[in-house]
Amino acid sequence: MYRITVIPGDGIGVEVMEAALHVLQALEIEFEFTHAEAGNECFRRCGDTLPEETLKLVRKADATLFGAVTTVPGQKSAIITLRRELDLFANLRPVKSLPGVPCLYPDLDFVIVRENTEDLYVGDEEYTPEGAVAKRIITRTASRRISQFAFQYAQKEGMQKV
């Protein structure tokens, strides 16, 4: 049995999460779902965008499903906080053409590896009279770490290029 923490979020996140859970429940795999809160609606109820109780549940789970959340101006970002707390620095985005599915490029097969904790994901933002300002931070340490991850991932998966 797999323990899954489910954080539906708010807005479209709730609707998307319902569909995701429907798909998982159709599988012949045993799941134990625990629901937790994060985002704007959570902030309205308890004054925190990512409560400590949610972090505890995520840490105990085998996996977490995180739906879309609305950013609360002036408050910590739930997803950025979660990434930092769990050191979720690598985001993998596989792209692959599927047989029988019409596609402009029928032989696509690659993975985008994105650093997930720096750049604009540091969440250092402010509103000014002219608009918004977001600070980008890119360090040698994080750049080296994501590069090493990408090369190790490619090697493990038998990929020819990075």
Residue 150 has a pLDDT of 96
pLDDT digits (tens, 9 = 90+) for 144-161: 999 999 999 999 999 988
CB neighbour list of residue 86: distance below 8 Å, 6 or more residues apart = 58, 59
φ/ψ bin of 40: left (φ > 0), alpha (ψ from -120 to 50), beta (otherwise): alpha
The predicted structure's pLDDT at residue 76: 86
**Per-domain boundaries in the chain:** 1-88, 89-161
Nearest to 85 by CA among 72, 66, 71: 66
CB contact at 8 A, 1 and 30: yes
Question: What was the pLDDT predicted at 1?
Answer: 92
> What is the DSSP-derived secondary structure letter of residue 50?
S
**What predicted TM-score, i.e. pTM, was given to this entire model?**
0.81
Weakly modelled stretches of the chain, pLDDT under 70? none
- Whole-number pLDDT of residue 71: 84
Residue 123's pLDDT is 77
